[in-house]
Chains A and B, each alone.
Chain A
Amino acid sequence: MSVLKRIHKIDRNQRLRYALMVLGILALAPPVGFLAQLFGSSTICGNLCPRMAIGSSFVRELFSRTWGVALLLIWLGTTLFFGRWVCSHFCPVGGLTEFGSKLLPRRFKIDYSRAVDTPLFRYGFLGAYLLLPAVGFANICCSYCSFSTIPEFFGTLFKPQMWLMLATGYRMVSVLLFVFVLGVIAVDGRGHCHLLCPVGAVDSIVNALGARLPFAFRERIDLSKCKGCGICEKECPAAAITVDKQAPEIAKIDYRRCYQCRICESKCARGAISIRR
């Protein structure tokens, strides 16, 4: 009963987001993964992997793993016109750790977004991700990839006979890093999204570029309604909003950080933040 009450208390935007996150998990993560199964994989890692489609292997992937490239283009296209809906509402990788992080009280969590300059960290990682295989060295995929580790870890929870596998070799390191250090103990459960996701890095660049287009939908602040109370700045899990009462523009959104979770929209008492052109 208390669970139902808590669900009822959740804002409408967040309820829609959680519902779509569950749908994304059912579609692309084990044990169900109905969409992934249609394309011959059990998770987003495999034929549908959009991460492998980035960078030096793009041309090869275009012909050998067409669905991964298609998913990447749909992902980036949606971001360009409508904002980062796929990252915030549908990505099973971020969704799984975000739900996982809700099991832990906030005081035990680390706020990576405020501790590190997340866009730059992510671009540095993206640079290594693109450069290393391009100059002939090992790729970061797939052993140390959040797209393979997190859904696989979640799938393994349903198979007790596989639990021992998690305690061996590289799998243990990647599970510790992606699921726990950058997942469950991150404030919004998305430390790996903010720091180590190449798809997220490219997506954030597209998001920032798209925000300049007059026809693109984005989370925007109506400055005539904003009084600079700073609640959005405090609540934003990506530390994407800065409020400065002295500045000509009281509140500003950094679209490289914003992943359109719509928490600011839910928290703003004056209704100054909304998705619009």
Chain B
Amino acid sequence: MNLLTEELRYKLFHLWMGAALGSGLAFFNAGCAASGQCPTCGACVARLPILALPVLADGAVMLVGYVQRAVEEKRKSSS
């Protein structure tokens, strides 16, 4: 089960890297980043959750892994 969560985390990480690069390029394309002229459209604030989603999912999977490990260790020590 831990192997499964590790694999899932690895997959989420690569998905997130792709999404992050895509969002970064969209930033550049909108002329916000590196242009020095923020149009105060608020798009960056709304874009953040897109970047945060895989990170949150990664965190959730990591937590599940920790809990599983703790439960397994408890079981082993009690038996």
Partner-B contacts on A (CB < 8 A): 116-117, 120-129, 131-132, 135-141, 143-144, 170, 173, 195-196
Kindly state whether residue B60 has any CB partner on chain A within 8 Å: no
Distance in angstroms from A17 CB to nearest chain B CB is 27
Contact A137 B46 (CB under 8 A): yes
When A128-B19, A128-B22, A131-B50 are in contact, do A120 and B27 touch as well, CB less than 8 Å?
no
Contact A144 B28 (CB under 8 A): yes
Kindly state whether residue B43 has any CB partner on chain A within 8 Å: yes
Closest to A122 in B: B18
Interface residues contributed by chain B, number (CB under 8 Å): 23
Identify A117's interface contact among B14, B22, B50, CB under 8 A: B14
Assembly CA distance A143 to B25 (angstroms): 9
9 cross-chain CB contacts under 8 A: A117-B10, A117-B11, A125-B19, A128-B23, A138-B27, A138-B30, A140-B25, A170-B28, A196-B21
Partner-A contacts on B (CB < 8 A): 10-11, 14-23, 25-30, 43, 46-47, 50, 54
Distance in angstroms from A61 CB to nearest chain B CB is 18
Residues of B within 8 A of A143 (CB): 28-29
Identify B46's interface contact among A127, A135, A141, CB under 8 A: A135
Contact B50 A124 (CB under 8 A): no
Identify B22's interface contact among A129, A136, A173, CB under 8 A: A129
Residues of A within 8 A of B27 (CB): 138
Contact A138 B22 (CB under 8 A): no
Distance in angstroms from A167 CB to nearest chain B CB is 15
Closest to A137 in B: B43
Contact A139 B26 (CB under 8 A): yes
Point out which of B21, B30, B46 has the most chain A C-beta atoms below 10 A from its C-beta: B21
Closest to A170 in B: B28
